[in-house]
Structure 1
């Protein structure tokens, strides 16, 4: 079984590449969203602890804590600027953050398929953790976008560190189950054990490289967008400040915070 152990070790080393990303030069843009946002075609909701605190309908109707605010024409114009500023930035950010990740998770399931009689339960559980971590930060449906409160300057770290480490754990967690399955096959002389081990190592090597490239590309895309997001969000912060001066109730739910 020495060959078997060496092959599993090689597969584990291959997957250590998940956490070996080149350090990207970060642009200084320390912007935070202090509340969550849910955006649909007609409505923007600023949420806190699952409750809608501010709602903007059709870019021109404002509700604070569920109460409609009677706006002057000038105030309506600023509300519209604020609403459109959010729409110009957040949906694109959520799209960029979520695109491709589910494909990567499916690829991991495929690489395990065929190496054991059934998909290890630990893999399902770990991949659920990955999906939950992503959806806690970004979520996209057929008719809505969601982004959680967070520092936008650290989005790329979320993928190159947190998500990659969770995927790393998912794969390593499944190796034990694969080992048991292959060991059972060896004992019962079902098939050629060495061929199956070689196939496992090759498939894991291919898929790890593809996922590695996918996550690295996403981090680079987010890094390239950092300057653009920073400019948009700085402009949005200026608009929000004007709105807070006109409608003091908005100051209780300061959405965009520039830290630097």
Structure 2
């Protein structure tokens, strides 16, 4: 099912029709019927609504940060060894990948849309289609760099800050700079992803509690249903 988040409501859609809706983080409608909620249920609905607003768009941010981290490093290496013109092709491929990823989502200001897909399907997209495209780009990049290094060996040494520097030293300098940048940013991203996973599990448990209180919601599971399966046993 698709998920639409706007400032006033959250809607879960199937074939374009709203299955259930949360208004202003506290009113719940299932197939057009307003559900009378107890104070406890209202609190759960609010907690779940606020969690969806925060966490689902975070998936996009982490995915984009991951791609930018890897391609930023790759781009820096290619520019350092093969020059700006060689890196332009990689930047164009990266833009295609970004569009492919964003095709799974739509985000404009405070509005967010998650196209109909399961989280497992989204995982398959990252590990399958997207991964293969990344491998192809990296392979092409290595070919570009090897050609550039071959040309560099045939030419005179390069000057850096007024000093003549051989290709081997130039590669070492670029590698050290990229490695420092990668380590810092990868550690930061890993911490961000770990924190997200913990919050996501908490949100999944909230959804399970809400479905226990309001059984009609079991037909419209948004997050992974692992928690629900475990509780049913």
Preserved CA contact (<8 Å) 1:45 1:53: yes
Instruction: Please show how residues 46-85 of structure 1 align to structure 2 within 5 Å.
Output: 46-48=12-14, 51=16, 53-54=18-19, 55-59=21-25, 60=27, 62=29, 64=31, 69-74=32-37, 78=41, 81-82=44-45, 84-85=47-48
2:209 corresponding residue in structure 1 = 238
Contact (CA 8 Å) 1:36, 1:47: kept in 2 or not?
yes
Unaligned runs of 5+ in 2: 160-164
Write the distance in 2 (CA, Å) between the matches of 1:127 and 1:74.
Answer: 48
**Pairwise CA distance, 1:150:** 1.0
- Counterpart of 1:113 in 2: which secondary structure? helix
2:54 aligns to what? 91
Normalising by structure 1, report the TM-score: 0.57
1:149 maps onto 2:118 in alignment? yes
Q: 1:175 to 1:92 in 2, by over 3 A?
A: same
Task: Give the direction of change, closer, same or farther, for the CA distance of 1:120–1:93 in structure 2 (3 Å limit).
Answer: same
Aligned residues: 211
Change beyond 3 A, Cα 1:43–1:216: same
Report the aligned-residue RMSD: 4.4
- Give distance in 2, aligned partners of 1:97 and 1:219: 15
The one of 24, 37, 47 equivalent to 2:3 is 37
- 8 Å contact from structure 2 (residues 77, 178) kept in 1: yes
- The one-character-per-residue Cα deviations of 1:10-61 (angstroms, maximum 9, x if unpaired) are xxxxxxxxxxxxxxxxxxxxxxxxx443322222132457x45434343326
Listed one character per residue, the Cα deviations across residues 180-205 of structure 1 (whole Å, up to 9, x for unaligned) are 34545666x47639735542443244
Instruction: Give how far 1:134 is off.
Output: 4.8
Q: TM-score, normalised by structure 2?
A: 0.62
CA pair 228-234 structure 1, distance change in 2 beyond 3 A: same
